[in-house]
Structure 1
Amino acid sequence: MADNEFGYTAWGRDWVRLAEPLRQTRPEPLLPRARSIARNDGVRVEIEARAVRAHLHRGGQASIAHVEVAPLSRAAVTAIAQAIPDPTVLTDEMHRALLDAGASPAPTVVSIDCSCSARTARCVHVLAVLYTIARCVDENPRLALELQGYFDATDDAEAPVQEPRWTSINALDPTQFFERVH
């Protein structure tokens, strides 16, 4: 039996790191409750392309959480295809080979939303969803690449990888954003 019930494979650990980042300096008080919700099957997930919609029931409360993952870049898709010619069964060694090739298969979350009253991106419901996804990825590591659009991008080599739906406000340059009218 694995030491940790969430992220016992390298592929699942990437998802656990979204809930438990290594750069975090203080303990997160919501993590034990989030693990408990995920452990006791309190999260029902629906995966559609790069979006995960989750229904959470805890006591008399219900919440809906959305997590959207960024698509892999064309360079990342190419590097993964070269490092893993047959992604039917993904192993921890293949994950290590990707890291050695400089192509991290770790997901990047572009959008998080929850219907709860906490109004934060790291509420207990979103953390429980991340743990549930980690458990799903541990059971089927191929899901880690599916959620990032890898198989959609490799089906049609000429098709561009889908652009993110949202642009972060921090990515905009205010000096270049507005047009100067003379």
Structure 2
Amino acid sequence: MPDNEFGYTPWGRDWVRLAEPLRQTRPEPLLPRARSIARNDGVRLVIEARTVRAHLHRGGQASVAHVEVAPLPHAAVTTIARVIADPTVVTDETHRALRDAGYSPAPTLASTDCSCSARTQRCVHLLAVLYTIARRVDENPRLALELQGYFDAPAPGADATEPRWIRINTLDPGRFFDRAR
């Protein structure tokens, strides 16, 4: 039995570090409550590509949290493809080999959002979601690469940067609102 119920593999530990960063100088009072919510299955996750939508229920309160993971850069995809011979089998040794190759497989969050009234970047619900993801990644380390879009990466030479927003002045209203006849 592992000492820590969240992040007992290097892949899961990368997710726990998002909730418990090493640069933090004082204790975070929300962490014990967030771990309790995750431990008692208070988080229901829906994973769609690089977006995680979570429904949290505690007592009479319900919240919806969204976590979007940044896509892997093309250089990282080629490094991972070079180091990992079989991406269906992701182990602790694979994590170590990626680190030795000079790539840190730790995820980067592109955006987070929660419907709770706290209105902070690190509410208890988002922390509970990170712990729940860490537990899922501990069970299936391949999920760490899936959430970063490794298996959805475009082929070499393709344009890997898809614009997140479209400038409104680039739209043609005549064509945009034209109904099919």
Provide TM-score, normalisation by structure 2: 0.88
2:60 is the counterpart of 1:60: yes
- Output the CA distance in 1 between the equivalents of 2:97 and 2:54: 32
- Return 5+ residue gaps in structure 1 as ranges: 167-182
- Return 5+ residue gaps in structure 2 as ranges: 166-181
- Output the CA distance in 2 between the equivalents of 1:159 and 1:67: 26
- Structure 2 match to 1:37: 37
| 1:89 Cα deviation from its structure 2 partner | 1.4
Q: What do you get for the CA RMSD once the two structures are aligned?
A: 1.3
| 1:163 Cα deviation from its structure 2 partner | 4.2
Look up the equivalent residue of 1:159 and give its one-letter code: A
- Output the CA distance in 2 between the equivalents of 1:160 and 1:27: 43
Question: Does the 8 Å CA contact 1:74/1:160 hold for their aligned counterparts?
Answer: no
- Output the CA distance in 2 between the equivalents of 1:162 and 1:89: 28
SS in 2 for 1:110: strand
- Structure 1 match to 2:21: 21
Question: Does the 8 Å CA contact 1:153/1:160 hold for their aligned counterparts?
Answer: no
What percentage of aligned pairs have identical amino acids? Answer: 82
Question: Does the 8 Å CA contact 1:31/1:124 hold for their aligned counterparts?
Answer: yes
1:76-155 equivalences under 5 Å are: 76-153=76-153
Q: What's the CA shift string for 1:20-73, capped at 9, x where partnerless? A: 000000000000000000000000000001000000000110000000000000
SS in 1 for 2:54: strand
SS in 2 for 1:34: helix
- Structure 1 match to 2:179: none
| 1:121 Cα deviation from its structure 2 partner | 1.0
- Output the CA distance in 1 between the equivalents of 2:86 and 2:74: 18
- Output the CA distance in 1 between the equivalents of 2:85 and 2:20: 31
| 1:162 Cα deviation from its structure 2 partner | 4.3
Which deviates further from its counterpart, 61-70 or 145-154? Answer: 145-154
Q: What's the CA shift string for 1:70-103, capped at 9, x where partnerless? A: 0000000000011111111111111011011011
- Structure 1 match to 2:177: none
| 1:159 Cα deviation from its structure 2 partner | 3.1
Pair 163,26 (structure 1): closer, same or farther in 2 beyond 3 Å: farther
Provide runs of 4+ in structure 1 moved above 6 Å: none
- Structure 2 match to 1:3: 3
Look up the equivalent residue of 1:51 and give its one-letter code: T
Pair 164,124 (structure 1): closer, same or farther in 2 beyond 3 Å: farther
- Structure 2 match to 1:159: 158
Question: Does the 8 Å CA contact 1:72/1:161 hold for their aligned counterparts?
Answer: no
Pair 149,164 (structure 1): closer, same or farther in 2 beyond 3 Å: farther
- Look at both structures and tell me which one has the larger radius of gyration over its CA atoms: 2
